[in-house]
A and B are shown apart, each in its own frame.
Chain A
């Protein structure tokens, strides 16, 4: 019984531990990840903490709408793209037959490269028997960077048509990771789903918050998200958003997985109104300051 329950132990509590790095994710889209992440970020700032927000939802970044920030610094992010030297190439086809993404096509007289198919693995360059391929590059997206008094915001924006979300997310992480020792807390807003972008966003976190809603859809995708991160051995906690006091569906799953539900945010029309006006949940009304300060305290404590 319960053979698939993970025993989750707090990690990183040695004397040299890094400041907390909290990933906020969900399986289902639209459960309130960004609202929670931004609200927690604001709660931490208001409590005088130094805090970083990383918007890793690179295919639909929108955290900035809630923050009213000024002009960001723009950092281009590039990935490897093969450059074929026609003088050396013998049109042998090794590169094209190796590439499972079909980023190269060998014709009778040339090699064509399809930038938006390329995953930047460099396999073609390594395999080319006559060294006709060298590392070129293509811009896959950009990082928007805001720095203010006691905070930094990093946001990834993948260019339309590009596929390398995880590469851009890793670069976001690298930047924020370098700055992290100067902060009390880093919060990562993950993309929805349970595939590569979500996994890349969650990787390396010291703690994971899964935001869900008490519906059959929320339940289904929360279960997927829990399964997706199981091997990461992360401490996982759940927030039930839009609770109407009937959360048994979610509670039962969490109990069976031994994952604590640490907060329930009530369904509240004023949150929807605030959202539509570009204000995060914490600013939806005076009654929201308390719950978010409680959440902030909880996230600063042991898990």
Chain B
């Protein structure tokens, strides 16, 4: 099972990124082997619908669980339609967020946050 954590850097020790749609990259962790890979989104450049774009990218990569800070209404709709839960972590490293999720300590986002405009 593939778990995606929005990240500021490209290792498990990097700070997690509380943004979802405009996170520059996600660290994808294979929950069984704990192998990691990096997904560069490029979505930060999108003028509109960064969340929708990022959500599609994650789904295409086969992600089954998303860990980020927050999730906007449109990305939320996409994940919901695909039955992919989004968990909320607000700070710390990617490793902190991933282990907190494994210990069942992260709240699942049930309601989307406010739409973000740039």
Contact = CB atoms under 8 A, between A and B. Distances in A.
Interface in B29-43: none
19 contacts: A101-B48, A101-B49, A102-B48, A102-B53, A102-B74, A105-B52, A105-B78, A106-B56, A107-B56, A107-B82, A108-B59, A108-B82, A110-B81, A112-B77, A112-B78, A114-B49, A114-B52, A114-B74, A117-B49
B104 interface: no
Contacts of A110: 81
B82 A117 contact: no
Contacts of B56: 96, 105-107
A103 B59 CA distance: 17
Given A108-B59, A112-B77, A114-B74, A102 B52 contact: yes
Given A102-B74, A105-B56, A114-B52, 16 more contacts: A100-B47, A100-B48, A102-B48, A102-B50, A102-B53, A105-B52, A106-B56, A107-B78, A107-B81, A107-B82, A108-B59, A112-B78, A112-B81, A114-B77, A117-B49, A117-B74
Interface residues of B, number: 15
Interface string A239-266: 0000000000000000000000000000
A81 B78 CA distance: 18
Interface of A is mostly: loop
B55 interface: yes
Interface residues of A, number: 13
Interface in B50-101: 50, 52-53, 55-56, 59, 74, 77-78, 81-82
A106 B74 CA distance: 13
Contacts of B108: none
Interface in A50-67: none
A103 B78 CA distance: 12
B46 interface: yes
Identify which of B49, B53, B59 gathers the most chain A CB atoms within 10 Å of its CB: B49
Contacts of B50: 102
B106 to A, nearest CB: 24
Nearest to B77: A112
A102 B49 contact: yes
Contacts of A102: 46, 48-50, 52-53, 74
A128 B48 CA distance: 22
Interface in A184-217: none
B82 A103 contact: no
Contacts of A108: 59, 82
